[in-house]
Amino acid sequence: MAQITRVHGDVLSGVNQNATVGELVTFGGSKAKCFKILVKDSANVAVDISNEAQSGEAVETIIFEILKISSLLFLQIENDSSGQISIMIEHDGGGWDHSTLQSTLSGLGTTCGINNIDVSGTTVEDIGFKLA
């Protein structure tokens, strides 16, 4: 079998501009960002949001806030008391970074959603993305 020696570029060069090993590489669309959101109250205690995902409740309020400037690609709400929401958003974060997202979500205060959930201690971490 014939082999062509590559003179320029690397495995990532035709896939996604500005991609480097260790970053999320996409094969279509824009680069995405992944965040871990830990919903916490003013005492820095995790809030069980597993029953807060209905219309008008805290999770919907949080998601709508994110959607104001970005599109969600993936969303996972943990079915436990950890208060964790994991998201992947497009357009290299769409303007969100962990500090602006944390400030915005914690700014929803002590009356988030129709059940007035305290989310004022919410934290956000830019976790990247790992498969398996």
The answer to whether position 11 is within a domain reads no
The answer to whether position 84 is within a domain reads yes
- For the chain, give the number of residues: 132
The answer to whether position 3 is within a domain reads no
The answer to whether position 59 is within a domain reads yes
> Which structural domain range is residue 61 located in?
47-126
The answer to whether position 93 is within a domain reads yes
Q: Which residues pair with 76 in a beta bridge?
A: 86
The answer to whether position 121 is within a domain reads yes
Question: Total structural domains in the chain?
Answer: 1
The answer to whether position 18 is within a domain reads no
State pLDDT tens for residues 4-40: 665 665 655 555 455 666 776 666 667 788 999 999 9
State pLDDT tens for residues 96-112: 999 999 999 999 999 99
> CA 75, 85, 91, 67 torsion: positive or negative?
positive
The answer to whether position 5 is within a domain reads no
